[in-house]
Structure 1
Amino acid sequence: MKPILKDQAEFPTVENLAKHLSKENLSLYQQLLTELHENSYMEDWNYYKDGHNWLSKILFKKKNLGWISIWETGVKVNVFFSERVWPQLVANELFAKIEANEASIQKNGKLNTVLIPIQDQASLQTAVELVNFKKKLK
């Protein structure tokens, strides 16, 4: 599995994503954007030369709450948590949903990341809840 938005000249519009994603995954991506917009979040696509890939920040005002990436297998949402707030997430009932949705959890010293593959409505809702959880953190 690897990211597929490698062409810097091809901005990730819905039309361009339709070339890379299955109809089901494209629909889940569109639903994800709808959910994010309903929470007053914006996506901000940028091409990152270090990874040679397009990624989208999930922003609330200027606060980065997470990332959207497009893979051969579909859409993924990645949210980072500092070591300081990680125990709050682990103690929250949301953590069981994260584990149930086959999320990848990586602990790298001071920064922990949760990567949720958006495969169905349940994983989509879990990803949105995770972004909402991060927004509420102080």
Structure 2
Amino acid sequence: MEEKEIYVFSDRQVKPTEDLIFSIIGDKKILWEKIMNYLSDNYKDASGTWNYYNDGKQWLFKMVRKKKTIFWLAVMKDTFRVTFYFGDKAEPVIVASGLPESVRDNFLTGKHYGKIRAISTKMTGLSDAETVIKLIDIKAGLK
């Protein structure tokens, strides 16, 4: 049975700060910085904000560019998860991309939320950060 993931920012009164995040994600800080540096170097009009969401009872980081959500991010003990939502029109782009086969397969067979599907990546190593960077480029390139 798969272990349920526990997200650590569930207290509405404790807004996430960089120091707090890095103290929780430990050595995954390198992956965090790689993703955020890529965004600031390549998408200068992208910006992120932390918001507390009552429906999930947790703080989530929302990265946007020109009012378009690029991804959502949640922090867990020792790591973090980045989630993208794509409409059905993104399917041929994702299938033809250089994304790992497991990511493409999860998208193709994943649960539909209306006309959108999620690709969610838990950060465990450098290859996961590279996957997120490819997904950022795909998301930014879609109309």
TM-score between the two structures when normalised by the length of structure 2: 0.81
Alpha-carbon deviation of 1:98?
3.3
Counterpart in the other structure of 1:38: 41
Alpha-carbon deviation of 1:29?
1.8
C-alpha separation between the residues in 2 aligned to 1:65 and 1:15? 24
How many residues are treated as equivalent by the alignment? 134
Q: Where does the alignment leave 5 or more consecutive residues of structure 2 unmatched?
A: none
Alpha-carbon deviation of 1:119?
1.6
TM-score between the two structures when normalised by the length of structure 1: 0.84
* Cα-Cα RMSD: 2.1
Q: Where does the alignment leave 5 or more consecutive residues of structure 1 unmatched?
A: none
Task: Name the SS of the counterpart of 2:111 in structure 1.
Answer: strand
Q: Counting helix residues as a fraction of each chain, which structure ranks higher?
A: 2
Counterpart in the other structure of 2:60: 55
Aligned residues of 1:69 and 1:75 also touching (Cα < 8 A)? yes
| Residues 13-24 of structure 1: pairs in structure 2 closer than 5 A | 13-22=17-26, 24=27
Task: Name the SS of the counterpart of 1:9 in structure 2.
Answer: coil
Residue type matched to 1:20 in 2? Answer: I
Residue type matched to 1:59 in 2? Answer: V
Identity %: 25
